[in-house]
A and B are shown apart, each in its own frame.
Chain A
Amino acid sequence: MTDILLYDLIRGHLLKLSVYAFFIGIAYRFFRVLFLGLPPDYAPPKGKPILKAIEKVLLKPSQAWRFFLEVFAHRGIQYVGGFLFHLGFLGLTFFVPQHAFLWGDILGFEPPYLPQVVADILAYSALGSLFALTVHRIFNPVLRLLTGKDEYLANFLIGLVLFSGLLATRWAGGAYYLWMLNVHMLSACVLILYIPFSRLSHFVYYFMSVFFYGRNVGKRGVSF
């Protein structure tokens, strides 16, 4: 199969299939859990569950106030790496022009997009931090025990998407560009298919789970 025919297959059928599977899978997981419900909790709340939930949703994502605490508590790699990785990966997913046009096609409105130089900085930082986090995961005795195949596969897929995307963008010229683009799009399709069936789905459920976590914290009347 030639590069352009593979490109057509990925851009046409495979991308569509993976995006459909993503939305079906995400809705399936969420509503299955929702409809299964939780056992009734008759204990009166000790704090303010909803306020705490809102507070967690608003403050937890940045965790900026914890910077010095975390960095000097010997969790610098996880803290700084995790922050840079999430910032880079989410920024690239939604705000790189080519991706913004795709989101515009899917959502019906187009997110604003970044100049290439900002996208490059995000890609380098995300790729570097992903590498650092993976190495840390391998060598840290506690993290190693907590890590399964799921994490390694997810890290590999994300790394491949980032690396091939960066390479395709910085490609100086030549006919192999299409192969690079094919690797990028194919790995992205596999990743999109994989998200609903893996822990990567936290990327969709993040705010909902933080809200739920905050509500529980508020119910118990503790700070976290």
Chain B
Amino acid sequence: METVWDLFRRRGYSRREFLSFVSVTASLLALPANLLMSFGRALELREKPVVIWLEFQDCAGCSESFIRSTSVMPSDVLLDFISLEYHETLMVPSGIYAEQAKEDAIKKYRGRYILIVEGALTPAEDGVYCTVGGKANHHLLREAIDGAKWIVAVGSCACWGGIPAAYPNPTGAVPISDLVEGKTVVHLPGCPPIGDVLVATLVHLIAFERLPELDSMGRPKVFYGQTIHDRCYRRSFYSAGKFASGLDDDGARKGYCLYKVGCKGPITRNACATIRWNGGLSFPIQSGHPCFGCSEPNFWDRGFIYKPLSAMPDGFGPKGMLGALAVGTLVGAGVAYMNKKQAKKGGK
């Protein structure tokens, strides 16, 4: 099977362009300069990865994001960069032949393939809420787990349950890690995650043959080690106490901090503020919308999107305050009345 360098050569790219790709990916992974040469050498020699991509309860946005990765040429990602043996959404027209190809790949590349899972799992009621080719999703995942060399959960649905698991979670959606035992699942959350993050993680797996450094929730530290707030270009406004009060008010036009209109950047760990989207063009905050924290667990249940992070998710309001004061008043008056009555009794 061809290597990544072979692939570049076949596509007519020069060595300079290959080295440029190596440098970009190495910097995405924040590799130290002394590893650059061995990293490039590994990409020259190692075979491109075999990937089986399963898709369960989701919107296919993660696949969309991946094929729009900009660190590798978009059209090359699926066709060349990886040996994509199976992708549920992309192979839909092939029907049972696609399913056959997957089963063959699981046997042929046993212990060598990277299993990428997109979407939440619904083992409830024997997986009736999500079936592919007549098979329940959790059976499909079980079939593929054993032979996988690495397992990568792509997107918040696969990592944490995401929107399918949001309240009231009618299908009983769970993250895929609930079904995986004895293997580490690399979590790349986001709704969707940045395509380049997946590409860089795959390149890391190919080049170093080991997992990148992960945090306690299984996310590569290099991409999820800092909050959006840490790297946000609007942070100076946050520090200066200048906040937009609406999405189109004067403050918003001046580019003030979006904390007051619900930005979840301070608690969201992702690389949006550094890598950005669409080839580094922009990211939600830069486009004038608050971050809604899509890469953290339960993001959809974290209250109204446009509410400041410091306010209570489902509100309190003057009514709540007056209600609590009324309860306190009644209890205080009641206890005072009892005390007086008791004192009178004692006096008698």
Contacts and interface: CB of A to CB of B under 8 A. Distances in A.
A35 B337 contact: yes
A31 B328 contact: yes
A31 B329 CA distance: 6
Interface string B293-311: 0001110011100011111
Given A2-B297, A177-B230, A12 B313 contact: yes
Interface string B240-264: 1111000000000000000110000
Nearest to B318: A108
B216 A2 contact: yes
B153 to A, nearest CB: 15
Interface stretch (B96-104, B163-171, B204-212, B319-327): B319-327
Kindly name the residue among B324, B332, B333 whose own CB sees the greatest number of chain A CB atoms within 10 A: B332
A115 B241 contact: yes
Nearest to B227: A177
A207 interface: no
Given A31-B329, A97-B243, A178 B267 contact: yes
Contact of A27 (B216, B221, B329, B337): B329
A116 B239 contact: yes
Contacts of B318: 106-108
Contacts of B307: 105
Interface of B is mostly: helix
A209 interface: no
A95 B267 CA distance: 22
A101 B308 contact: yes
A4 B225 contact: no
A4 B297 contact: yes
Nearest to A114: B241
A27 B336 contact: no
Interface in B27-41: none
Interface string B262-280: 0000110100000000000
Interface string A14-58: 011001101111111111111110000000000000000000000
Size range of the interface on B?
A: 35 or more
B297 A5 contact: yes
Given A2-B217, A7-B267, A175-B225, A108 B302 contact: no
Contacts of A32: 332-333, 335-336, 339
Interface in B195-233: 215-217, 221, 224-227, 229-231
A113 B237 CA distance: 13
A174 B229 CA distance: 10
Contacts of B336: 31-36
A63 interface: no
A11 interface: yes
B347 interface: no
B337 A174 contact: no
B332 A35 contact: yes
Given A23-B324, A26-B325, A108-B317, 17 more contacts: A2-B297, A12-B312, A24-B325, A27-B325, A27-B329, A27-B332, A28-B331, A31-B336, A102-B312, A105-B308, A105-B317, A106-B320, A107-B318, A116-B239, A116-B241, A173-B230, A177-B229
A106 B317 contact: yes
A98 B266 CA distance: 12
A86 interface: no
